[in-house]
Structure 1
């Protein structure tokens, strides 16, 4: 049975340790541990990681020095020390999940993808997506044929957010609508009042042509189209660009765990 809190439970331990010792070096390593768990969650790798956690080395290539990252080594060293020092079996188990997550990323050669994810998050980008499709039919065909579908990751269908859900016990695969983007835009509107800083355009067609012609794109930038603010977003992991009107945030000013009015 899938453990739906496997990646979230250790976050409380990370927060506790962060509060106890907020020194720059400790925060740097704990933030990496936090981001590793968030990366696996955002990319829908819960099932794959759970298999690895239960059977270390499962479906993973051998770990070699070539695919190690110095930050991972330092973080593993700290976590191993804290695991060995704690007298709590619960804490020891939570630390082991983080250690296994670090090992999983290294042994599946995902350092590059993880670093790209961190750049996206640090730049304040919109919720990560793992794929983009022009039509729902294309997305459903991809999901049907996928040998190991992501679980609870975001994808785009005609630039609208949808979740990918996969119940392994029944092999039921779904693409329900996601409102993560609406809450994200509402958060930007609330915390960082938007201004048009990139360009202004008379219509959506001009803006789309400009966006797709950019050799290098910022993760996010505000533009104006016929006087309305839009977010120009770039997803480097799938090399996809999209435009979202700020008006999508209307009705989603509440926090994600509250019901929008």
Structure 2
């Protein structure tokens, strides 16, 4: 599904900046597929969408507090968005390495490819 969307985007791109951004996205997606974490990638995309509409499941003052909470979660931890200070993080799990993760969710401004 993601490959199809990348292909569709490629057909509409014209500027060198857009083409370079798409090239980087393809490399990143290839890496995700190669490491066997495509399911984690899809879950991460869903948390990006959810983070715009739902409040965080938990809030922490420091990353250490968040990591302590995460260490107590099941394997894999349930999908969730948490806040650490003013930043949002997706709760993730690397199945290959059996490792819990906190992945910072970029702000809408950071995701806007036209800003720079």
C-alpha separation in 1, matches of 2:89 and 2:81: 6
Distance 1:242 1:229, change over 3 A: same
C-alpha separation in 2, matches of 1:222 and 1:239: 19
Alignment partner of 1:236 is 2:95: yes
Count of aligned positions: 88
C-alpha separation in 2, matches of 1:242 and 1:252: 21
C-alpha separation in 2, matches of 1:119 and 1:247: 20
CA contact (8 A) 1:196 1:229 kept: no
In the alignment, what sits opposite 1:215? Answer: 74
Distance 1:125 1:205, change over 3 A: same
Distance 1:236 1:223, change over 3 A: same
In the alignment, what sits opposite 2:43? Answer: 125
What's the TM-score once normalised by structure 2's chain length?
Answer: 0.50
What's the TM-score once normalised by structure 1's chain length?
Answer: 0.26
Write out per-residue CA displacement over residues 114-166 of structure 1, whole angstroms, 9 at most, x where no aligned residue.
Answer: xxx57546xx323xxxxxxxxxxxxxxxxxxxxxxxxxxxxxxxxxxxxxxxx
Alignment partner of 1:226 is 2:85: yes
> Runs in 1 of length 4+ with deviation above 6 angstroms?
none
Cα RMSD of the aligned pairs, angstroms, is: 3.7
Following superposition of structure 1 onto structure 2, how do residues 64-79 of structure 1 map, counting pairs within 5 Å? none
CA contact (8 A) 1:207 1:225 kept: yes
In the alignment, what sits opposite 2:63? Answer: 204
Structure 1 residue runs of 5 or longer lacking an equivalent are 1-7, 12-37, 45-112, 127-183
In the alignment, what sits opposite 1:160? Answer: none
Q: CA deviation at 1:247?
A: 3.9
Following superposition of structure 1 onto structure 2, how do residues 1-261 of structure 1 map, counting pairs within 5 Å? 42-43=33-34, 119-120=39-40, 124-126=42-44, 188=48, 191-192=49-50, 193-216=52-75, 217-218=77-78, 220-247=79-106, 250-254=109-113, 261=116
Q: CA deviation at 1:209?
A: 0.8
CA contact (8 A) 2:109 2:115 kept: no
CA contact (8 A) 1:196 1:224 kept: no
Structure 2 residue runs of 5 or longer lacking an equivalent are 5-28
